Amino acid sequence: MERESISHIAHGDHPIAAPLSETAVERLLARAKPPRGARILDLGCGEGAWLTRALARYPDATADGVDVSEMALAAAAREADRRGVSDRLRLHRTPAADFAAGPSYDLVLCVGATHAFGGLAQTLAAVRRHLGPRGLALVGEGFWERPPTPEALRLLDAKPDDFADLAGTVESMEQAGFAAVHGHTSTPGEWDAYEWSWTGTLTSWALDHPGPDGDAALAAARGHRDMWLRGYRGVLGFVTLLLRRV
């Protein structure tokens, strides 16, 4: 099975592709409070979980979602239609780093997609390019809750300097020309809910689809679960910051 298909199935019961609860997402969107007629951009939008919720909350806003996954964008279009916001959402299949837009945006999101730009610093530079003078950004990034063990690094295929600690992550965002005006640090419960949903949904699908695809999905679910439980559980954190340009 393609990795894209595995991710789509695994997120079926947890459409927010990050360790945040629905309550946390809605609270962050409420704190953003974009102006009337706001323009919203999501760089690496995936299946549009953040954008469709933002458009439902702000009925006079319009939005652009950018992603490379045809499958994810098709799912985003279906969700926008289900929520009745499809007339205010434009979807673009292109690398987030290559996306070029006209007027600036009032709210720019990049949650759990900094890899699309090659890291946090490059992501923040791209966000600034798209953001209006008084705009806000929601950026979600991993951080080390505690120093990673060699085994955790091996399982994650990561290096110690791939992430900073929480203080260092906030500092990096502010050094890039932003001020943190609100934030949400994902709780252990949110992490567990996300990971159990990811692995459990994929496992259930695999058991319902015996054969080569089911075998591949089951192997992916077990591999991911081992990486989580034996590697980064309690080691890797996640923070989503609401940032304002300085």
Residue 26, in any domain of the structure: yes
Residue 222, in any domain of the structure: no
Least confident of 9-23, 69-83, 147-161, 179-193: 147-161
Domain that holds residue 162: 19-187+236-245
Residue 101: predicted pLDDT: 81
Residue 51: predicted pLDDT: 98
Residue 212, in any domain of the structure: no
CA dihedral 113, 117, 120, 122 (to 10 degrees): -150
Alpha helices in the chain (DSSP H): 3-10, 22-32, 49-57, 70-83, 120-130, 150-156, 166-175, 188-208, 212-227
Residue 112, in any domain of the structure: yes
Q: What is the pLDDT of residues 141-179, one digit of tens each?
A: 999 999 999 989 998 889 999 999 999 999 999 999 999
Residues in the chain: 246
CATH number for the domain including 132?
Answer: 3.40.50.150
Q: Rounded to whole angstroms, what are the CA distances from 166 to 46, 54, 95, 197, 235?
A: 25, 26, 28, 25, 12
Residue 78, in any domain of the structure: yes
* Residues 209, 100: Cα–Cα separation, whole Å: 41
Q: Does residue 69 carry a pLDDT above 90?
A: yes
Residue 183, in any domain of the structure: yes
Residue 222: predicted pLDDT: 97
Is the Cβ–Cβ distance between 176 and 125 less than 8 Å?
yes
Q: Does residue 72 carry a pLDDT above 90?
A: yes
Residue 1: predicted pLDDT: 81
Q: Strand, helix or coil at 226?
A: helix
Residue 164, in any domain of the structure: yes
Residue 96, in any domain of the structure: yes
Q: What is the number of structural domains in the chain?
A: 1
Residue 91: predicted pLDDT: 98
Q: Does residue 120 carry a pLDDT above 90?
A: yes
Mean predicted confidence (pLDDT) in 127-153: 95
Instruction: Compute the mean pLDDT over every residue in the chain, rounded to the nearest whole number.
Output: 96
Q: Side by side, which strands form the sheet with 105-111? A: 89-93, 62-67, 39-43, 105-111, 131-144, 236-245, 178-185
Residue 19: predicted pLDDT: 98
Q: What is the pTM of this model?
A: 0.95
Q: What is the pLDDT of residues 18-36, one digit of tens each?
A: 999 999 999 999 999 999 9
Residue 180: predicted pLDDT: 98
Helix 49-57 vs helix 70-83: crossing angle, to nearest 10: 20
Q: For residue 227, name the pLDDT band (cuts at 50, 70, 90).
A: very high
Residue 28: predicted pLDDT: 98
Residue 76: predicted pLDDT: 97
Mean predicted confidence (pLDDT) in 109-119: 95
